[in-house]
Structure 1
C-alpha cells in the first residue's frame, strides 16, 4: 500500500523541513522526485538522503515566483522523463506582523511566493497532469482558518491557497485530477529554530516549550508526520478524496478552549 512506483513527483521547497521529508518519503515509496528550490545546499542534502536509501531524485533550481522559470523547469522535467503525475506546492515564506505593521513590500513578497508561486506551478503542470489523471497537493496552514496573532499577510496568503485548492478540484473533476491541501499547525522545522534564535535570543528553549504547548496534544508536529499524510493523499488509496483541506495540528483548531 501507499506505493508510488512509476510516478513522477514535483516538490517545491524540497530542500528543507517538510519539503525534504516529503521528498525522501516519496522516493522511498518508489517515485522519481524532482526537487524545486532556490537553496542549492539544502537541495543537495535532500538528494544525498535519497541516494542513501537508493531512491531516485533530481534537483531543479527554481524561484516559484518567476513564471517563465517555472514553465521552463516543468518542460525540462517532461523532456527528461516524459511525464508528471504529482505536484506538491510546499514552497512558502512566513511573515510576522499585523495590518498596521505589515508593509506593502512585505505583502507583495508573500503574494509572489505563497500565492502566485502556487498558481504558476499548477498552471504549468496541468496540461501534463491531464494526461495521467494526476494529483495536486498544496501546503496551506491552520492560519487560513484560525485567528493567529501577528500573522496578517501569511494568514491571507494561506487562505488563498485553500481557495485555489477548492477551485482547481472543482474545475478538473472531468479530467480525473485530484486536488487537496494540508493545513499543518506548528511543526518543528529549521525555520522554527531560526525564528526562536532571532526573536528570543537566550530564551530559545523556554519559548520552544511555550509554543509546543499551544497544541492541545502538547508538542509540535514533525515534518515526517506531515509527509505521511501527503503520501496518503497522493497515493491510489486516496482515489476518492478531492477538494479537501486536511488539518494536522495536534488538536489546535478544534480542541482549544
Structure 2
C-alpha cells in the first residue's frame, strides 16, 4: 500500500458569475501518493490548474479541505502556508519566473538560502550538484536572458527541488517550449521521479502525459477517470502512447 502524501476531501472552488456560481472544482476527493508521477489532464477550462493551486495552498478553497502530513492546510494562515511552500512543496510553472538580474546559480541558490533549516554551505553544494545534473554548469553564471528557454526551465526545476521538497507541483512546465527542450525537461522530471521525487503535474500535452505513473482526468470539476501506468521507458513509448490515447478517447478528450 502506497503512502499518501497529500489529500483533498470535498474540495470545491467556485466563483461568482452573472449572479450565480461557477463551480470550477466540485466536491473532489483525491489522494496523491508518495513516489508517483501523477498527471492531471482535461479539456481547457476544466479546472486543472485550479486543482493544482488549491491543493498546494496557492489558492483558497471555497469548501472542503486539503490535508498534508495530518494537517489541514486549508486552515493555515498565510505565513504558515508560505513556510510550507518554501520547504515542503516545490513549484514549476509554464513561465519560468526567474529573476532577470540574477545568474542561474543565484536564481537556484536564493530559494535555498531562504530556507533557514539548511546551512549556507549545504545550499551551495546542492546548487552545484543540481546545475550539473541539469546540464547547466557551463552557463551557471549567465543571466536568464543569456540562455535558451529550455535552459531557463531546467534552472527553474533546479530551483524547485533545491530544498528537496516532499512534493513537486508542475503547471504546464513544457507549454512554452519547443519539441527539443520539451523532451529535455520531461527527461529531467522523469529522472527525478525515478529517484523518488513525488510529482503532481497538470498538462494538455500528450508527450508530457506519457511520463505519468498515474493519469487522472478532470471534467466539469470532477475526477472522472484514472489510469495507472508502469514507470516510463523510452523503448516502450509507442505502445504507451497507444494505451494513453485509447484511454483519453474513452474520456472523450
Please indicate the TM-score interval, normalised by the length of the shorter structure: 0.3 to 0.5
The TM-score normalised by the length of structure 2 is 0.32
The TM-score normalised by the length of structure 1 is 0.32
Higher share of residues assigned helix? 1
Q: Which structure carries more relative contact order (alpha carbon 8 Å, separation 6+)?
A: 2
Higher share of residues assigned strand? 2
